[in-house]
A and B are shown apart, each in its own frame.
With several copies, the nearest count.
Chain A
Amino acid sequence: MCSDIYKVQLENIFEGPMDLLVYLIRKNEVNIYDIPISMITDRYLDYIEWMKSMNVDIAGDFLVMAATLIQIKSRMLLPVHDDSDEEDPRQEITRPLLEYLQMKAAALQLNERDMLGEHTFIRSPSKISDPGTLPDHEIRVDIFDLIKAFQRIIENLSSDISLDVVADKLSIKDRMIELSHLLKEKGFLIFQELIGNAAGKADIIVTFLAILEMVKRNAAHVIQRDDTDTITLYLNEITHA
């Protein structure tokens, strides 16, 4: 536990191996088109070693990059055939580095723009802080909103799944009878109160299932008022004689 206190997140220093490489290249003022691979590899490994000694969790990405560097270094040591159709082994690292630097520069350019809500404002600033369900089309939702809505439903229903394990079928039936009696007595029941009064998770699930079953059987119906979150359970008039 004690050593955990001194643990540093490597990501907080260099977000990833590309970041670290960019730093080393800049710090050592090397030409990116002619990277002294041996030196950069050594510096890179030094850094990883230092991090290890500092008790830092080293992400796998950093080790993959270390392996790549070592491999390039060893390929550079092989004798060069003069019919050199072969690509400079360093290209394997130069190309992605250039692309990364290009995107980093693009990010800086983005950052220099006048940002809405930071440098410039529109008449309804609340829209900026809460993009809510924003439009790409006439209807102001996107597909991510749709998945999130579905995910919410699934999460709320997860009790439904565990229910077969937890709940005893008999007790659902018992609870249905109990609820019917209560409904006859009171006329209606507030869902949140039923849940609130339940003893433990299993009880909540049984109550919930009992309600679902009653609704399914048309023995009761449930109404949610728009203005509140209150869900009310009513007994149905028995129509079938």
Chain B
Amino acid sequence: MPELKFILESFLFVSEEPLTLEKMRAALPFTDTKGIKEALQSLKNEYDQRQGSICLIEVAGGYQLRTRSEYADWIKKIIQTSAQRLSPAALETLAIIAYKQPIMRSDIEHIRGVDTGGIIRMLLDRKLIKILGRKEIPGRPLIYATTRYFLEIFGLRDIKDLPAPKDISDLGKPVVDAPE
């Protein structure tokens, strides 16, 4: 039988999505979660020492092989990438939803001070946010939350992995990019 870490490597290599420990365990009945975690750590160390173009990261509740960011500019020469970047307004809306979820549209607009319907719809289309349900208040407005895909895109292990927003007292002298 091949080494456990290489079996796991083959799993990660063929998976389109971050692979959870539970899924790996279900496919490997002879081992336990602890054994899998150790093998993944050893694989990760090997990739880190090698300093090649591939690394193993923990993301969106699972594990995934990805390229190192130093190779991004090279990779873009070989594959077409559609613009993934978000406008400042979309990023702001996404940040509000990420930090305040579950949240209603009216609360988002209260914070941003502008209509956000079109941006919410674009974020829904891009699967960065989802409709979580309705709030039990008059009008039963929809409430929104971020998706697992959001975690994947921003390389977050889970939503608690988001950096704590800067302390309000630090913001007295705001450093924001204002238009010229």
A–B direct touch in complex (beta carbons closer than 8 A): yes
Instruction: Decide yes or no whether A173 CB sits under 8 A from chain B.
Output: no
Q: B6 — which chain A residues lie within 8 A by C-beta? A: none
- When A and B form their complex, what is the total count of cross-chain residue pairs whose Cβ atoms lie within 8 Å? 276
A139 near B96 with CB under 8 A, answer: no
Tell me the minimal C-beta distance from B34 to chain A in angstroms.
Answer: 26
Instruction: Decide yes or no whether A106 CB sits under 8 A from chain B.
Output: yes
Residue of A nearest to B133 (CB): A143
A23 near B178 with CB under 8 A, answer: yes
Give Cα A102–Cα B99 distance, bound, in whole angstroms. 10
Residue of B nearest to A16 (CB): B114
Give Cα A153–Cα B169 distance, bound, in whole angstroms. 14
Give Cα A150–Cα B166 distance, bound, in whole angstroms. 11
Q: A22-B178, A23-B178, A212-B113 are in contact. Are A140 and B84 (CB under 8 A)?
A: yes
Secondary structure of the A contact surface, majority rule: helix
B174 near A101 with CB under 8 A, answer: yes
Q: B173 — which chain A residues lie within 8 A by C-beta? A: 31-32
Q: Which of A13, A129, A212 contacts B82 (CB 8 A)?
A: A129
Q: Kindly supply a per-residue 1/0 record for chain B positions 164-180, scoring 1 wherever the CB is within 8 Å of any chain A CB and 0 otherwise.
A: 11111101111111110
A114 near B168 with CB under 8 A, answer: no
Residue of A nearest to B179 (CB): A13
B114 near A59 with CB under 8 A, answer: yes
Q: Kindly supply a per-residue 1/0 record for chain A positions 81-109, scoring 1 wherever the CB is within 8 Å of any chain B CB and 0 otherwise.
A: 00000000000000010111111111111
A222 near B84 with CB under 8 A, answer: no
B127 near A104 with CB under 8 A, answer: no
Q: In which size bucket is the chain B interface?
A: 35 or more
Give Cα A231–Cα B114 distance, bound, in whole angstroms. 8
Q: Which segment of B24-32, B38-46, B104-112 sits at the interface?
A: B104-112
Residue of A nearest to B174 (CB): A101
Tell me the minimal C-beta distance from A240 to chain B in angstroms.
Answer: 12
Q: Which of A11, A109, A117, A154 contacts B81 (CB 8 A)?
A: A117
Give Cα A222–Cα B125 distance, bound, in whole angstroms. 24
Q: A108 — which chain B residues lie within 8 A by C-beta? A: 91, 176-177
Instruction: Decide yes or no whether B163 CB sits under 8 A from chain A.
Output: yes
Give Cα A104–Cα B93 distance, bound, in whole angstroms. 9
B84 near A136 with CB under 8 A, answer: no
Q: A100-B113, A142-B127 are in contact. Are A149 and B166 (CB under 8 A)?
A: no
